[in-house]
């Protein structure tokens, strides 16, 4: 790979005697990894995995897989059993340490790897707002949240400024995986390498300053921000954090344990930076099995002056009398009624997590779990609901081997011949929910979404 000369000069000055090993890493193949979805993957998954897996040291559910394994084409991927994710990119969400019941924001969230990782830590409890400013990328984010069967994520398409005006002092944890110059991804993305320039680095640093300032306003006292990038540029890493601490003295860098061959940030790479930069974290591709990444854990001191949070109340939801069609559906098809706040958007019914703040005035792509659509005199369940449910939560299900002709036919959109009680069925691949089918007259009608079907 031909690296930009200005980039090479700067990296050589930073790494000195390590630079030769760093440059040589670009001739090595990237490590590939996936992250198991603990809400789906059973404890015996590793014993029966169709792929050879090796643990990623810094991610609880992260595993390297071998080249040629093609997990993206396996039915388990369609069922949301795992998320394919670059191994270094798994680090920031681990250091966020989100817990069940918290209020968490993923501010720059697309395509959804870190959001789905945070959601795994939250175990379906609490409120996770996942935001992406670009509409097309926000749609991809929403689709990945759906595939992973997550119910407590609200996907928004807003500017950080707009969110900060509404959610002052609201969140316990915030992840800012900031837009950056992408230097750490040159090996995986040659286009990023070709588009790189020093002016782009400076522009990104300015944007990062702005985004972090908005994040600071939304964090409660005692809360935590994890700032991360996939670049090596000190101006965007130690520099951004140093400038942030000068603007917001109520924040400190939280020292964290470095795992495997992670290194600390370097205060000497930025003018005026304090020695606390050593407590930030760098991941270099010549030291560990992953691409370039940087992260800093920032905590807001208890008792810091700030405005009180605006939201003391949650969304009230729609009245029970407006749930007649869904009530009929769940009583016929589910073991129990899903708990949460029921919201209607047109004919679509959603289940928002408890304590969801008022959403009026926000651009919302997914206000929680999409339950389905009210049709004329009936309720049609969504694909998201099928992926959310487990076998023991539905009245009827049908299980096929993941490598069976039936699952291949199902993912192709074909109906399947089978016998059983008439009604809605969750289709399972080795026990993992993958979609809906409706059985009648010995034929299971396919309800797998047309846009997801395989040729």
Helices (H), 268-343: 324-333
What is the Cα–Cα distance from 257 to 279, expressed in whole angstroms? 9
Structure tokens at 378: 């009936």
Segment holding 315, helix H or strand E: none
Tokens of 149: 């069967």
Phi-psi region of 441 (alpha: psi -120 to 50; beta: other; left: phi over 0): left
Could you tell me the CA-to-CA distances from 398 to 149, 412, 423 in Å, in that order? 18, 17, 12
Q: Using the 8-state DSSP alphabet, how is residue 301 labeled?
A: P
The catalytic residue among 108, 180, 193, 230 is 230
Q: In this structure, what DSSP letter does residue 285 have?
A: T
Say if residues 161 and 217 touch (Cβ distance below 8 Å).
Answer: no
Q: Show the tokens assigned to 230.
A: 């996939």
Q: Answer whether 407's CB lies under 8 Å from 400's CB.
A: yes
Q: Which residues contact 49 (CB under 8 A, 6 or more apart)?
A: none
- For the question of residue 230 being annotated catalytic, the response is yes
As annotated, the active-site residues are 230
């Amino acid at each position: 790979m031909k690296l930009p000369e200005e980039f090479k000069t700067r990296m050589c000055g930073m790494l000195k005697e390590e630079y030769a090993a760093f440059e040589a890493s670009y001739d090595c193949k990237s490590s590939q990894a996936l992250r198991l979805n603990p809400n789906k993957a059973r404890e015996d998954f590793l014993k029966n995995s169709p792929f050879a897996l090796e643990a990623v040291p810094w991610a609880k559910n992260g595993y390297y897989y071998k080249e040629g394994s093609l997990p993206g084409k396996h039915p388990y991927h369609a069922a949301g059993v795992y998320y394919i994710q670059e191994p270094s990119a798994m680090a920031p969400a681990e250091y966020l340490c989100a817990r069940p019941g918290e209020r968490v924001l993923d501010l720059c969230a697309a395509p959804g790897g870190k959001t789905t990782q945070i959601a795994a830590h939250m175990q379906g409890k609490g409120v996770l707002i996942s935001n992406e400013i670009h509409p097309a990328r926000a749609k991809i984010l929403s689709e990945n949240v759906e595939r992973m069967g997550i119910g407590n994520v609200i996907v928004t398409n807003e500017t950080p400024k707009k969110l900060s005006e509404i959610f002052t002092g609201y969140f316990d944890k915030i992840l800012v995986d900031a837009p950056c110059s992408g230097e750490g991804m040159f090996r995986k993305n040659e286009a990023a390498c070709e588009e790189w320039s020093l002016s782009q680095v400076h522009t990104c640093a300015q944007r990062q300053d702005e985004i972090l300032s908005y994040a600071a306003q939304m964090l409660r006292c005692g809360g935590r921000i994890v700032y991360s990038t996939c670049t090596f540029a000190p101006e965007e890493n130690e520099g951004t954090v140093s400038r942030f601490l000068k603007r917001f003295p109520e924040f400190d860098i939280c020292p964290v344990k470095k795992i495997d061959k992670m290194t600390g940030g370097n205060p000497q790479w930025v003018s005026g930076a304090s020695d606390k930069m050593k407590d930030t974290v760098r991941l270099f591709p010549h030291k560990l099995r992953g691409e370039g990444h940087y992260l800093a854990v920032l905590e807001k001191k208890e008792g810091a002056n700030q405005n009180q949070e605006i939201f003391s109340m949650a969304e009230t939801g729609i009245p029970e009398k407006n749930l007649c069609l869904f009530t009929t559906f769940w009583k016929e098809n589910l073991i129990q009624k899903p708990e949460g706040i029921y919201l209607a958007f047109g004919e679509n019914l959603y289940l928002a997590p408890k304590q969801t703040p008022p959403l009026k005035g926000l651009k919302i792509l997914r206000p929680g779990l999409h339950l389905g659509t009210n049709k004329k005199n009936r309720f049609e369940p969504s694909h998201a609901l099928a992926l959310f449910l487990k076998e023991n939560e539905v009245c009827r299900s049908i299980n096929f081997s993941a490598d069976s002709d039936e699952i291949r036919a199902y993912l192709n959109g074909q109906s399947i011949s089978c016998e059983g009680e008439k009604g809605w069925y969750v289709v399972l691949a080795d026990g993992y929910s993958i979609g809906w089918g409706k059985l009648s007259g010995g034929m299971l009608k396919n309800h797998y979404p047309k846009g997801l079907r395989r040729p």
